Structure 1
Amino acid sequence: MSKPLKQIHLAAHFPGVNNTTVWSDPQAGSHIEFSSFAHFARTAERAKFDFLFLAEGLRLREQGGQIYDLDVVGRPDTFTVLAALAAVTEHLGLTGTINSTFNEPYEVARQFASLDHLSGGRSAWNVVTSWDAFTGENFRRGGFLPQEERYSRAKEFLATANELFDSWHGDEIAADQAAGVFLRDAKAGSFVHAGQHFDIHGQFNVPRSPQGRPVVFQAGDSEEGREFAASSADAIFSRYASLEEGRAFYTDVKNRLAKYGRSHRDLLILPAATFVLGDTDTEAEELAREVRRQQVSGATALKHLEFVWNRDLSAYDPEGPLPDIDPDVGDEHISQGRAQVRMYRDPLATVRAWRELAAAHDWSIRDLVINTGNRQTFVGSPATVARTINDFVQADVSDGFILVPHITPGGLDPFADKVVPLLQEQGVFRTEYEGTTLRDHLGLAHPDDVRGERVAS
């Protein structure tokens, strides 16, 4: 008997700080004006996507003592944007990245519970941590936490927020909500939490939301991040979109669920994915090469190398050969806010490998960055891209993808118009929304139903 086809989950990422957006393209629009967010969200909803996702940075990036000016600045506040989008969409999930290192559980829980009410149960929280003192300077508490403490705080932060969400529950309180009388039961909203990071008590003033509590996303790829997702998240973002790496990540994280009393269906794995479409595969491949060169300008290439060399390389020609000096491997880093976690663990080894590649292919600095950096995940005709996405999901590489177009806000439109109908024809993607909440879209149980099952067992 053949295995039933998995249903594909699709989401759309409105880019922020990134190396994907082609800012120079005439079709590129504002990342601040609400019309851009509204267009993007409406396209995703028209295509019956599960949700829209907003990333967030808490400080402008800096490199070499100057503001890093190669990506967007001035992104409006996440909650403000999502609340506004709730008014111009009816079904699309609304996911925001909110930091657990510098915020407080009561405030974040109240904001997400409010968004969930305003949207009719469509909110989701991407729980992240911050590892740098540079960002911490924006906050009274300041500083940064070692990695193990960051995840310890994040886990307790989420547990505390869930206690606040769950402080309104039960048949009597549900009846009170239906009647519009929220405080008839003096116990409604009462909470007490005493832990390593938080010691709070009082009454939570936002009633139980339509989906019980927001959907929880997690983005960490470290050992601590994978465990955090397996224990507490509803979905985890992944940077592994290739067949082999994706399947290994999928298997590893899914196999961690059993120790927490969870099944494979309780956690979705959703890698970020870029795409380039053409009428033919050949046309798409040619366009992908052009897009990649637009994404990596000469200035971008030099900034990328400076991060590895840890030196000012502004005197070098990006169309010329690689620098003949070695990286500075000292403790001070040219990019503040990134010194605690190095993308390249061994800069000297990385540079040796790059020099060999550049010599073998006669690559300039810019050529090297273009050819060793991130590639588009899906490139081809609509039929090829639809088939590849479905093959990956059915092979348990992922449960779906979060699409990141290189043009904002209109870059999602070709996928919605040309690829989604093909997935619908294959019977692996919805033609209509069947539920009203984000939990419905993702096939996740309501927290009250899960609680009831555990009590019964």
Structure 2
Amino acid sequence: MSKPLKQIHLAAHFPGVNNTTVWSDPAAGSHIEFSSFAHFARTAERAKFDFLFLAEGLRLREQGGRIYDLDVVGRPDTFTVLAALAAVTDRLGLTGTINSTFNEPYEVARQFASLDHLSAGRSAWNVVTSWDAFTGENFRRGGFLPQEERYSRAKEFLATATELFDSWRGDEILADQATGTFLGDAKAGAFVHQGQHFDIHGRFNVPRSPQGRPVIFQAGDSDEGREFAAAEADAIFSRYATLKEGQAFYTDVKSRLARYGRRHDQLLILPAATFVLGDTEQEAAELAREVRRRQVSGATALKHLEFVWNRDLSGYDPEGPLPDVDPVVSEEHISRGRAQVRMYRDPLAIAREWRQLAEANKWSIRDLVINTGNRQTFVGTPAHVARTINDFVQADASDGFILVPHLTPSGLDTFADKVVPLLQEQGVFRADYAGTTLRDHLGLAHPDTGAAAERAAS
């Protein structure tokens, strides 16, 4: 008997801080005006996507003491944007990245519970930690948390927020919906939490939301991050976009679920993916090359090389050879607030490898960055891209993809119009929403809150 086809999950990422957006394209729109967010969300909902995802940076990145040239200055607050999008969409899930290092559980729980009410059960929280004191300088507790403790705080943060969500039992209602006056159980919303990071007690003042609590996402790729996802998350983002790497990540993370009493279908694995479409394979390949060159200007290539070399390279020609000087290995780094810095643990080894690649391929600095950086995940005709996405999912390399177009806000339109109908024809993607909440879209059960609620009420 043949194995039933898995259903594909699709989401859309409105990029913020990024090297993805082709800002020079006349079709590139604002990352600040609400009309851009609304267009993007409406396209995703028209295509029956599971959710829209907003990342969030808590500090503008700097390089050599100057704001990094690809940062979006003035990006609106995540909760504000998602709440506004709840009013212009009906089914699309609304996912936001909110930091557990520099926020407080009561505040974040109240914001997500409110968003879940405003959206009729479509909210999701991407729980992240912050690893650098540079970002922390924007906050009262800047730099206070050692890196090894950040997941400890994140776990307790999420546990505490869950206690707040669960402090209202399912049978408690508002007696007067017009005024919000509650006349029921006096224990509603009561909570007490004492732990290493938080010592709070009181009453949670937002009633039970339509989903019970928001869907939980996690984005860490470290062993701690994978374990955290296996224990707590409903979905985990993945950075592995090749079939082999995707299958290895998928197998590893799913194998951790059993120790927490969870089934394989209780955690979804969703890599980010870029795409370029063309009427022919050749046209798509040529467009992909052009997009990549426009994503990596000469100035951008030099800045990227500085991540590794940890020195000012502005005097070098991006169309010329790599520097003959070695990287500066130091605890002090030219780039601040950048996750990329952590990816290059051994800059001297990376420099040697890149010099060998550049020499063998006759690459300039810009050529090297273009060819070693993040290239488009899916390139081809709509039929080819639809087939490849389905192959990944059926081969257990992912449960779906979070699509990141290189144009905002219109870059998702062609995918919605040309690729999604082909997936629907194959019977691997919904023709319409079957439910109303994000948990419905993702195939996740409503949380069982009975025991947790009783503990909180007592």
**Which residue does 2:266 correspond to in 1?**
266
Confirm or deny that 1:364 pairs with 2:364. Answer: yes
Confirm or deny that 1:104 pairs with 2:104. Answer: yes
Confirm or deny that 1:39 pairs with 2:39. Answer: yes
Q: Deviations along 1:231-288, whole A, 9 cap, x unmatched?
A: 0000000000110000000000000000001000100000000000000111101110
**Which residue does 2:321 correspond to in 1?**
321
**Which residue does 1:166 correspond to in 2?**
166
Partner amino acid, structure 2, of 1:186: A
Structure 1 residue 183: Cα displacement:
4.6
Q: Deviations along 1:280-310, whole A, 9 cap, x unmatched?
A: 1111011100000000000100000011000
**Which residue does 1:65 correspond to in 2?**
65
| SS of structure 1 residue aligned to 2:343 | coil
Q: Deviations along 1:323-343, whole A, 9 cap, x unmatched?
A: 110000022111123599622
Partner amino acid, structure 2, of 1:325: V
Hey, what's the Cα distance between the residues in 2 that align with 1:177 and 1:160?
Answer: 29
Confirm or deny that 1:215 pairs with 2:210. Answer: no
Structure 1 residue 174: Cα displacement:
4.2
| SS of structure 2 residue aligned to 1:97 | strand
Partner amino acid, structure 2, of 1:190: A
Hey, what's the Cα distance between the residues in 2 that align with 1:4 and 1:178?
Answer: 45
Map 1:291-370 → 2, pairs under 5 A:
291-338=291-338, 342-370=342-370
Partner amino acid, structure 2, of 1:269: I
Structure 1 residue 63: Cα displacement:
0.5
**Which residue does 1:278 correspond to in 2?**
278
Hey, what's the Cα distance between the residues in 1 that align with 2:361 and 2:409?
Answer: 36
Per mean C-alpha deviation after superposition, the further-off stretch among 442-451 and 416-425 is: 442-451
Indicate if the aligned counterparts of 1:101 and 1:153 stay in contact, CA closer than 8 A.
yes
Partner amino acid, structure 2, of 1:430: R
Hey, what's the Cα distance between the residues in 2 that align with 1:274 and 1:168?
Answer: 41
| SS of structure 2 residue aligned to 1:201 | strand
**Which residue does 1:230 correspond to in 2?**
230
Structure 1 residue 315: Cα displacement:
0.4
Hey, what's the Cα distance between the residues in 1 that align with 2:221 and 2:269?
Answer: 12
| SS of structure 2 residue aligned to 1:98 | strand
| SS of structure 2 residue aligned to 1:447 | coil
**Which residue does 1:95 correspond to in 2?**
95
Gaps of 5+ in 1: none
- Residues 449 and 3 from structure 1, CA distance in 2 versus in 1: closer, same or farther, beyond 3 angstroms? farther
Indicate if the aligned counterparts of 1:100 and 1:128 stay in contact, CA closer than 8 A.
yes
Hey, what's the Cα distance between the residues in 1 that align with 2:168 and 2:138?
Answer: 34
Indicate if the aligned counterparts of 1:131 and 1:144 stay in contact, CA closer than 8 A.
no
| SS of structure 1 residue aligned to 2:336 | coil
Structure 1 residue 170: Cα displacement:
3.6
Structure 1 residue 142: Cα displacement:
1.1
**Which residue does 1:150 correspond to in 2?**
150
- Residues 268 and 340 from structure 1, CA distance in 2 versus in 1: closer, same or farther, beyond 3 angstroms? closer
| SS of structure 1 residue aligned to 2:95 | strand
**Which residue does 1:5 correspond to in 2?**
5
Hey, what's the Cα distance between the residues in 2 that align with 1:59 and 1:148?
Answer: 21
Q: Deviations along 1:341-394, whole A, 9 cap, x unmatched?
A: 622111111111111111111111000000111110000000000000000000
- Residues 47 and 338 from structure 1, CA distance in 2 versus in 1: closer, same or farther, beyond 3 angstroms? closer
Structure 1 residue 71: Cα displacement:
3.0
Hey, what's the Cα distance between the residues in 1 that align with 2:281 and 2:146?
Answer: 46
Hey, what's the Cα distance between the residues in 2 that align with 1:154 and 1:414?
Answer: 38
Structure 1 residue 448: Cα displacement:
2.7
Indicate if the aligned counterparts of 1:93 and 1:124 stay in contact, CA closer than 8 A.
yes
Indicate if the aligned counterparts of 1:99 and 1:128 stay in contact, CA closer than 8 A.
yes
**Which residue does 1:129 correspond to in 2?**
129
Output the aligned Cα RMSD: 1.7
**Which residue does 1:193 correspond to in 2?**
193
Confirm or deny that 1:289 pairs with 2:296. Answer: no
- Residues 142 and 387 from structure 1, CA distance in 2 versus in 1: closer, same or farther, beyond 3 angstroms? same
**Which residue does 2:23 correspond to in 1?**
23
Hey, what's the Cα distance between the residues in 2 that align with 1:434 and 1:339?
Answer: 38
Q: Percent identity?
A: 87
**Which residue does 1:255 correspond to in 2?**
255
Indicate if the aligned counterparts of 1:95 and 1:126 stay in contact, CA closer than 8 A.
yes
Hey, what's the Cα distance between the residues in 2 that align with 1:182 and 1:100?
Answer: 31
Map 1:340-419 → 2, pairs under 5 A:
342-419=342-419
Structure 1 residue 175: Cα displacement:
7.3
Per mean C-alpha deviation after superposition, the further-off stretch among 101-110 and 178-187 is: 178-187
Hey, what's the Cα distance between the residues in 2 that align with 1:147 and 1:228?
Answer: 15
Q: Deviations along 1:415-439, whole A, 9 cap, x unmatched?
A: 0000000000000000010100000
Indicate if the aligned counterparts of 2:48 and 2:432 stay in contact, CA closer than 8 A.
yes
| SS of structure 2 residue aligned to 1:125 | strand
- Residues 260 and 106 from structure 1, CA distance in 2 versus in 1: closer, same or farther, beyond 3 angstroms? same
- Residues 449 and 104 from structure 1, CA distance in 2 versus in 1: closer, same or farther, beyond 3 angstroms? closer
| SS of structure 1 residue aligned to 2:421 | helix
**Which residue does 1:50 correspond to in 2?**
50
Hey, what's the Cα distance between the residues in 2 that align with 1:398 and 1:144?
Answer: 36
**Which residue does 1:242 correspond to in 2?**
242
Gaps of 5+ in 2: none
Hey, what's the Cα distance between the residues in 2 that align with 1:62 and 1:177?
Answer: 51
| SS of structure 1 residue aligned to 2:188 | coil
Structure 1 residue 146: Cα displacement:
2.8
Partner amino acid, structure 2, of 1:42: R
Indicate if the aligned counterparts of 1:148 and 1:224 stay in contact, CA closer than 8 A.
no
Hey, what's the Cα distance between the residues in 1 that align with 2:21 and 2:185?
Answer: 51
Confirm or deny that 1:442 pairs with 2:446. Answer: no
Indicate if the aligned counterparts of 1:52 and 1:94 stay in contact, CA closer than 8 A.
yes
Q: TM-score, normalised by structure 1?
A: 0.96
Q: Deviations along 1:117-152, whole A, 9 cap, x unmatched?
A: 000000000000001111101001111533330000
Partner amino acid, structure 1, of 2:333: H
Q: TM-score, normalised by structure 2?
A: 0.96
Hey, what's the Cα distance between the residues in 2 that align with 1:271 and 1:147?
Answer: 25
Structure 1 residue 70: Cα displacement:
2.1
Indicate if the aligned counterparts of 1:241 and 1:272 stay in contact, CA closer than 8 A.
yes
| SS of structure 2 residue aligned to 1:342 | helix
